[in-house]
Amino acid sequence: MIRVQHEDFDPGAEFEQLRTGLQAGAGAVVSFIGLVRDLNEGDDITAMTLEHYPGMTEKALDAIAAEATARWKLLDAVIIHRVGPLGPNDRIVLVIAASAHRKDAFRACEFMIDTLKTKAPFWKKETTSQGSRWITTHG
C-alpha cells in the first residue's frame, strides 16, 4: 500500500491496520519513520516544503514496494510520504515491511527507504533565517 498525502500520518494506526490484515505466518514487522531535520549545513531550518511529481511519484513508490515484496517475500509493505509545507521534527515518510522473519523485514525496509531517496520524484526546499534554498544531493 502506498500513499502520497499532505496531512500527517499516525504510525500506530498504520501499523495496526497492517497487523490486523496480515495472514498467518507473519512474524516480523520493521518500520522506518523519517523526520524533518531542524539543522542542515549549520543553519536552523524554520520550515520545509516538499514538492513531487503527481502521477509519477505514485508509480515509483508502487514499483519500490513491489520490488521489495518480490525480493524478500514480504507479506505486506507500506510506503506513506508527505508533501507540502512541513515544520521541524514533522514526520515526512513511513515505510513498513512485514515478513515471516526479521531479517527479510529489516532488509526490505532499508531497501525501500534507500531506493525512495534516490529514485522517487520528491524535492525538499528548506527555509532558514538566510532565506529559502533547494536541498541538493552531494557527490
Binding site for other proteins (CB under 8 A): 34, 50-53, 55-56, 59-60, 81, 92-93, 113, 116-125, 134-137
Grid coordinates representing 45 are: 531550518
- CA pseudo-torsion sign 120, 77, 18, 1: positive
Nearest distance in Å: CB 113, other proteins: 6
Nearest distance in Å: CB 27, other proteins: 27
Nearest distance in Å: CB 63, other proteins: 10
Nearest distance in Å: CB 139, other proteins: 10
Angle at alpha carbon of residue 40, lines to 35 and 43, rounded to 5°: 125
Mapped to the 3 state alphabet, what secondary structure does 1-66 carry?
CEEEECCCCCHHHHHHHHHHHCCCCCCEEEEEEEECCCEECCEEEEEEEEEECCCHHHHHHHHHHH
Grid coordinates representing 23 are: 495472514
Nearer Cβ to other proteins, position 26 or 50?
50
Nearer Cβ to other proteins, position 5 or 134?
134
Nearer Cβ to other proteins, position 46 or 123?
123
Judged by DSSP in three states, 90 sits in coil
Nearest distance in Å: CB 94, other proteins: 11
Nearer Cβ to other proteins, position 3 or 125?
125
Nearer Cβ to other proteins, position 7 or 24?
7
Closest CA to 47 of 4, 90, 93, 8: 90
